[in-house]
Amino acid sequence: MKKVAIMTSGGDAPGMNACLRAAVRGAIYHGIEIYGIYRGYDGMIEGDIVKMNSHSVSNIIQKGGTILKSARSEEFKTKEGRKKAYDQLTKLGIEGLITIGGDGTFTGAKIFYDEYQIPTVGAPGTIDNDLYGTDYTIGFDTAVNTALGAIDKIRDTADSHNRLFFIEVMGRDSGYIAIRSGIGGGAELVMVPETSTSIKEVISTLQEGWARHKTSSIVVVAEGDEEGNAMEIAEKVKKKIAQKDIKVSILGHIQRGGSPSAQDRILASRLGLGAIEGLMKGKKNVMAGIINDKLVYTSFEDSITKNKPLNQELIHMVKVLSV
Question: In this predicted model, what pLDDT tens digit does every residue of 126-139 receive, in sequence order?
Answer: 999 999 999 999 99
Which residues define the annotated binding site for substrate?
A: 126-128, 163, 170-172, 223, 247, 253-256
Contact 6, 23 (CB under 8 A): yes
**Strand stretches in the chain, DSSP E:** 3-8, 33-37, 49-52, 96-101, 120-124, 164-169, 189-191, 217-222, 246-250, 286-291, 294-299
Of the residues 12, 42, 114, 128, only one is catalytic, namely 128
- Positions of the chain with pLDDT lower than 70, given as ranges: none
CB count in 10 Å sphere of residue 190: 29
- Alpha carbon distance 56, 36 (integer Å): 9
- Alpha carbon distance 47, 67 (integer Å): 17
Which residues define the annotated binding site for Mg(2+)?
A: 103
Which residues define the annotated binding site?
A: 11, 21-25, 72-73, 102-105, 126-128, 155, 163, 170-172, 186-188, 212, 214-216, 223, 247, 253-256
Q: Edge-to-edge, what's the strand order for the sheet holding 3-8? A: 49-52, 33-37, 3-8, 96-101, 120-124, 286-291, 294-299
Q: Which residues pair with 50 in a beta bridge?
A: 36
- 13-30: buried (b, 16+ CB within 10 Å) or exposed (e) per residue? bbbbbbbbbbbbbbbbee
Instruction: Report pLDDT for 321.
Output: 87
Q: Which residues pair with 8 in a beta bridge?
A: 100
Q: Give the tens place of pLDDT for each residue, 97-108.
A: 999 999 999 999
- Alpha carbon distance 319, 323 (integer Å): 7
- 97-109: buried (b, 16+ CB within 10 Å) or exposed (e) per residue? bbbbbbbbbbbbb
**How is residue 310 annotated by DSSP?**
P
CB count in 10 Å sphere of residue 227: 17
DSSP string, 205-272: HHHHHHHTT---EEEEEETT-TT--HHHHHHHHHHH-TTS-EEEEE-GGGGT-SPPPHHHHHHHHHHH
- Alpha carbon distance 170, 228 (integer Å): 13
Q: Which residues contact 260 (CB under 8 A, 6 or more apart)?
A: 14, 15, 17, 18, 62, 64, 138, 139, 141, 142, 268
128 catalytically annotated: yes
